[in-house]
Amino acid sequence: MDSRNSDDEQEAEFIPTPVKIIIAGGFGVGKTTMVGAVSEIPPLTTEEVLTEASDGIDDLLGVERKATTTVALDFGRITISPKYVLYLFGTPGQERFWFMWDELARGAIGTVVLVDTRRLDTSFAAIDFFERRKIPFIVAVNCFDNAERYNEEEIRGALAVPSHVPIVMCDARERDSAKLTLIRLVKHAMSALPVG
């Protein structure tokens, strides 16, 4: 028996399967916060301080206290088991960075589209992007402290989200809430897989 084959097989057993998930949404909805809340490693962020140069470009309406912005991506990791590792990629929310979304979405099993009910209009581009590419997604309403509460049907109607797309409420700051959101996405993505 060739011991090299045995060693290769053993080593292959210890290499976990990567599972790629995207956290998307408009500017200031909490994508960086969500990645940071659940990542088991210090998350990689590409946050930069907002400056006067973004005046008139970045719409701060509803997020006036926001001081930083993602300029490329956020990255985090969660080990599910020895066999599976989730890799989380947070997209930048501003329109000028949307060109990166295609590359970030390549190979993803699904997406959490994070929304802010104070600014639902910032969610349409992300929903449209993933619908057009037929990438499974769920809508996660980030329940900000000062945001009015709406039920699932109201949010579904306002965003024109099809009935097969799950809508969940979450708090992107809370690890358990963010984890439950990711679990819901994985279940939805698995249910979208072709049978057979």
The sign one gets for the Cα dihedral 173, 179, 184, 189 is positive
Distance CA 173, CA 30 (A): 8
Distance CA 53, CA 179 (A): 36
| Token code pair at residue 143 | 């329940």
Q: Are 105 and 135 in contact (CB under 8 A)?
A: yes
| Token code pair at residue 46 | 């590409």
Q: Domain coordinates of the chain in residue numbers?
A: 15-191
Task: State the average pLDDT over residues 50-68.
Answer: 54
User: Where is average pLDDT lowest: 64-73, 84-93, 115-124, 136-145?
Assistant: 64-73
The residues pairing with 118 across neighbouring beta strands, listed in sequence order, are: none
pLDDT at residue 132 in the model: 94
Phi and psi at residue 99, in whole multiples of 5°?
-60, -20
The residues pairing with 77 across neighbouring beta strands, listed in sequence order, are: 87
Task: State the average pLDDT over residues 121-141.
Answer: 94
For domain 15-191, the CATH class is alpha beta
